[in-house]
């Protein structure tokens, strides 16, 4: 059984970093002992990314599937996590024209049909046009490449979230 201070520290770490990976606090839980006492964002990001990269394929797939579609009904309804909402808003996805919104819905559906998980992209600092172009380009990937690309984008999102915490 861990000492009380270790338990408190783990709880604090999970409270602080549990939302870095979308709906996947297991990453913070599994890395809590390694993250204790660390302040360097890149070191924290690398430890958390290593945890994800060494997780089972099923757990990685669940992590990818935990991400919302871009410019989706959940955003319109206001039920995204605060991080996801901020990220999508920063890319202007909350101001899509009717045509853009329809295009996102069509691409989201095609992507889900082909890969079985949502299109994931670190959209902060991207325009709607850049996101749509990436969407269409990545639809040409095979499943293995796109799975790895989604995980890479998730790591980028995590780094951006960690940096935002330090601001």
Give 34's contacts (C-beta < 8 A, 6+ positions apart).
47
pLDDT for position 2: 47
- Going along the chain from its start, the domains and CATH numbers come out as 4-62 (no CATH), 68-166 (1.10.3330.10)
pLDDT for position 125: 87
Q: Is 67 considered catalytic here?
A: yes
* pTM score, whole prediction: 0.87
Name the catalytic one among 67, 112, 125, 143: 67
Contact by Cβ (8 Å): 22, 81 = yes
Q: Could you tell me the two tokens for 83?
A: 């991080």
Q: What is the pLDDT along the chain (167 residues), one digit of tens a residue?
A: 344 345 668 999 999 999 999 999 999 999 999 999 999 999 999 999 999 999 999 999 999 999 988 876 544 545 567 777 777 777 667 777 889 889 999 999 999 999 999 999 999 889 999 999 999 999 999 999 999 999 999 999 999 999 999 77
DSSP string for 72-134: -HHHHHT-S-HHHHHHHHHTTGGG--HHHHHHHHHHHHHHHHHHSS------TT--HHHHHHH
pLDDT for position 93: 74
pLDDT for position 83: 76
The terminus-to-terminus CA distance of the chain in angstroms comes to: 36
pLDDT for position 3: 42
């Amino acid at each position: 059984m861990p000492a009380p201070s270790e338990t408190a520290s783990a709880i604090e770490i999970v409270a602080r970093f549990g939302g870095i990976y979308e709906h996947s606090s297991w990453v913070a839980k599994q890395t809590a002992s390694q993250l204790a006492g660390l302040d360097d964002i890149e070191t924290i990001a690398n430890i958390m990314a290593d945890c994800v990269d060494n997780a089972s394929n099923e757990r990685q797939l669940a992590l990818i599937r935990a991400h919302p579609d871009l410019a989706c009904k959940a955003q319109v309804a206001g039920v995204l996590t605060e991080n996801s909402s901020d990220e999508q808003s920063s890319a202007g996805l909350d101001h899509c024209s009717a045509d853009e919104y329809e295009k996102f819905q069509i691409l989201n559906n095609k992507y889900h049909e082909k890969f079985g998980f949502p299109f994931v992209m670190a959209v902060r600092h991207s325009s709607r046009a850049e996101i749509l172009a990436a969407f269409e380009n990545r639809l040409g990937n095979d499943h293995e490449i796109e799975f790895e690309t989604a995980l890479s984008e998730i790591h980028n999102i995590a780094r951006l979230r960690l940096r935002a915490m330090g601001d």
